[in-house]
Amino acid sequence: MVKTFILAAGNQTRWLYYMPNYTHKIKHLVPVHGIPLIRRTISQAKNPVVVTREPKIIDFVTCKVLNPVLKESVVQTLISTHEYWGEKAVILLGDVYFTADAIKKIYSCKEDYMFFGNKEEIFAIVINNGERLSQAFIDLSGVDISKMKLWHLYRFMHDIPLSKHDITESFTYIKDKTTDFDCVLQYEKWRKAYDKR
């Protein structure tokens, strides 16, 4: 059975950087097509579990919640889900607007593992065989991962220098309106272009 882990444990530092007085203080709760982003992602997911320590998100969601022990980086949050993966795990980033086509592409993946995104961002990971990622987590045990992003994990797993942005294998491009909202300016730009409510 597939389990979907929606990572929403970030501390919102980039979100409010340019507009600290913005109405929506938590990016996972911004409205898209009339509903909060996290609720939309939950409705798209199979057997969703929201991974967060944010009380406003916990109070808001209607599915299972997993509280990560460490949440300084997205990789720490990902590692906190490891013991719950089961036979197939899908990792969705909670600050991403996924199109229906992107969700279909992610859930139809049959590879042992696959990263999904565009040239700038990783949006999702599918794990059909956790052996390779489990080994990467073991290999990272002596490394400071408190600031590690998913691109760093991808590079680490593919023997690419962490400072070099290179995409080699086990990566599927999503080339549609799927996008992440790192800051208010990105969200407002997307909202004006695509959210006609």
CATH number of the domain enclosing 98? 3.90.550.10
pLDDT value of position 147 = 86
Residue positions counted in the chain: 197
The rounded mean pLDDT for the chain is: 90
pTM for the whole thing? Answer: 0.93
Q: What's the domain count of the chain?
A: 1
* N- to C-terminal Cα separation, the chain: 36
pLDDT band at 25 (very low <50, low <70, confident <90, very high): confident
How many whole angstroms separate alpha carbon 19 and alpha carbon 46? 34
* 184 or 124: which leads in pLDDT: 124
Mapped onto helix, strand or coil, the DSSP state of residue 85 is: coil
Q: Are 87 and 110 in contact (CB under 8 A)?
A: no
- What domain range is 98 assigned to? 2-194
Q: Are 115 and 171 in contact (CB under 8 A)?
A: yes
